[in-house]
Structure 1
Amino acid sequence: MTVSSDAVIELRDATKSYPGGVHALRRVNLTVEEGELLAVVGPSGSGKSTMLNVMGTLDKPTTGTVRVAGYDVSELSDSRLSALRARHIGFVFQHFHLAAGRDAVDNVADGLLYAGVPLKERRTRAREALAKVRLDHRCSHTPNELSGGEKQRVAIARALVGDPRLLLADEPTGALDTASGEIVMELLHELNASGTTICVITHDNEIADSLPRRVRFKDGEIVSDTRSGARSASCTEEVGS
């Protein structure tokens, strides 16, 4: 199969249904292009968490098509899908999921465990990733020695260490105080400016409004898709297409 696409993620008529007539996603159409910084925003129960799972290939749609880096995920075996996910997608979660008793370097290096990278190189790349998130001075610290904001930055470094095309950040400031949350969002802007494609899943309209693109969900559907600046019109045309 030949793959050539500037799109990192493409969803076409993606639906996710559950027994009992529950439709978490309803014919969703969305394209995320290389280098974008966007929010998927909506209240609890709107479908944004299901959207995260589908975009991250953690779950497959009931109907419709999902492509990651041009590959139709429905055509991939579980092993190939896992390899695609490991190569192209990094995940950041609200509650960090760091291993207690392991320092920042080893927590970040664990992001390369299944990539066949030797331990020495894993640790070297982990230190480089920690420097990107401005934590090179905290490499030897364990999670209990780090603040909440620092833990989230370690988690971001772990997501980045494999150099993914897309970073999916699920409520990245949800467990942080305001000041730490602002630092994390500033960091995500910096990472995007250096070329990382980032999608932030959030219920927080203030965070969403600070990003260049806002994809708003309600009842499993995209109700608006807008960009700051001149590209907003071309973006909103895709809603409901």
Structure 2
Amino acid sequence: MTLPPPADSSPPVVELRDAAKSYPGGVHALRGVNLTVAEGELLAVVGPSGSGKSTMLNVMGTLDKPTTGTVKVAGYDVSALSDSRLSALRARHIGFVFQQFHLAAGRDAVDNVADGLLYAGVPLRERRARAREALAKVGLDHRGSHTPNELSGGEKQRVAIARALVGEPRLLLADEPTGALDTASGAIVMELLHELNASGTTICVITHDNGIADSLPRRVRFKDGEIVSDSYSVSPVEGAGR
């Protein structure tokens, strides 16, 4: 499934306008959120459990649609897309990294990364070639033939990052990417995310860890489904990673 070009030739990577998400029983996970993420940014969406940041991840990643308001990804209004076009948008523009690595146990690192292109219509040989390139980007080209049980926790997360990057998405959403790692491995993963951002990837880290959030150029803090602060360590232009 292909997508027609968006109306805006240079849209933000993500744009939310008055986005709200409610669930039965009067649960309001998001309350009128306004947020714009520009090309090349590195930001944290930070808040305690129940603050709405996980719902924010799902809405930004088009895994869920807002109850009211507008969400645009790469210029496309999510609510206006059919399921097939929404899947195409997600496959082309968004990469996901989760706290649990979700790697297939019986497949080596190359095949796990290549699986990130399964729904992009890429032939097997090209998928594997691109997977090797993605593994090289995360410093694991020498571990391509190893299965997950032969990798450390930090290496598994780097394989998961390579899988998210293999389709060259505009946006990488990392949900608690260091949550299952020891301190040293977590530091390596965060350093890698900084390097990937410096090379041009837009990255949003969803976290409850204020230390991680404070290490990033932009911090969007959530409480009770609302943004309570949106601050920069440097100007948005300087922090854009380009």
TM-score when normalising by structure 1: 0.93
Shift of the 239–92 alpha-carbon distance from structure 1 to 2, 3 Å rule, reads closer
Report the secondary structure of 2:62's partner residue: coil
* Counterpart position of 2:107: 102
Shift of the 236–101 alpha-carbon distance from structure 1 to 2, 3 Å rule, reads closer
Q: Offset at 1:20?
A: 1.3
Question: Could you tell me whether the CA contact under 8 Å between 2:116 and 2:166 is conserved in 1?
Answer: yes
Q: How many angstroms apart in 2 are the aligned matches of 1:29 and 1:136?
A: 40
Q: How many angstroms apart in 2 are the aligned matches of 1:60 and 1:235?
A: 27
Shift of the 180–22 alpha-carbon distance from structure 1 to 2, 3 Å rule, reads same
Q: Offset at 1:19?
A: 1.1
Report the secondary structure of 1:7's partner residue: coil
Q: How many angstroms apart in 1 are the aligned matches of 2:145 and 2:177?
A: 23
Q: How many angstroms apart in 2 are the aligned matches of 1:25 and 1:238?
A: 27
Q: Offset at 1:21?
A: 1.0
Q: How many angstroms apart in 2 are the aligned matches of 1:50 and 1:75?
A: 20
Question: Could you tell me whether the CA contact under 8 Å between 1:30 and 1:238 is conserved in 2?
Answer: no
- The one-character-per-residue Cα deviations of 1:73-114 (angstroms, maximum 9, x if unpaired) are 111000000000000000000000000010000000000001
- The one-character-per-residue Cα deviations of 1:212-241 (angstroms, maximum 9, x if unpaired) are 00000000000000xxxxxx7987999999
Question: Could you tell me whether the CA contact under 8 Å between 1:29 and 1:239 is conserved in 2?
Answer: no
Q: How many angstroms apart in 2 are the aligned matches of 1:239 and 1:118?
A: 34
Question: Could you tell me whether the CA contact under 8 Å between 1:89 and 1:166 is conserved in 2?
Answer: yes
Q: Offset at 1:5?
A: 2.9
Q: Could you say what the CA RMSD is over the residues aligned between the two structures, in angstroms?
A: 3.7
Shift of the 235–223 alpha-carbon distance from structure 1 to 2, 3 Å rule, reads farther
Question: Could you tell me whether the CA contact under 8 Å between 1:171 and 1:202 is conserved in 2?
Answer: yes
Shift of the 21–240 alpha-carbon distance from structure 1 to 2, 3 Å rule, reads farther
Shift of the 239–110 alpha-carbon distance from structure 1 to 2, 3 Å rule, reads closer
1:175 aligns with 2:180: yes
Give the one of 204, 213, 216 matched to 2:209.
Answer: 204
Question: Could you tell me whether the CA contact under 8 Å between 2:41 and 2:240 is conserved in 1?
Answer: no
Shift of the 233–98 alpha-carbon distance from structure 1 to 2, 3 Å rule, reads closer
Shift of the 55–34 alpha-carbon distance from structure 1 to 2, 3 Å rule, reads same
Question: Could you tell me whether the CA contact under 8 Å between 2:174 and 2:205 is conserved in 1?
Answer: yes
Q: Offset at 1:6?
A: 3.7
Question: Could you tell me whether the CA contact under 8 Å between 1:103 and 1:140 is conserved in 2?
Answer: yes
Report the secondary structure of 1:238's partner residue: helix
Question: Could you tell me whether the CA contact under 8 Å between 1:223 and 1:239 is conserved in 2?
Answer: no
Q: Offset at 1:182?
A: 0.1
* Counterpart position of 1:235: 236
Q: How many angstroms apart in 2 are the aligned matches of 1:2 and 1:126?
A: 23
- Unaligned stretches of 5+ residues in structure 2: 4-8
* Counterpart position of 1:153: 158
Deviates more, 1:1-10 or 1:95-104: 1-10
Report the secondary structure of 1:183's partner residue: helix
Identity of aligned residues (%): 90
Q: How many angstroms apart in 1 are the aligned matches of 2:152 and 2:2?
A: 46
Shift of the 104–26 alpha-carbon distance from structure 1 to 2, 3 Å rule, reads same
Deviation above 6 Å: which 4+ runs of structure 1?
232-241
- Unaligned stretches of 5+ residues in structure 1: 226-231
Number of equivalent positions: 235
- The one-character-per-residue Cα deviations of 1:137-177 (angstroms, maximum 9, x if unpaired) are 10000000000000000000000000000000000000000
TM-score when normalising by structure 2: 0.92
Question: Could you tell me whether the CA contact under 8 Å between 2:42 and 2:240 is conserved in 1?
Answer: no
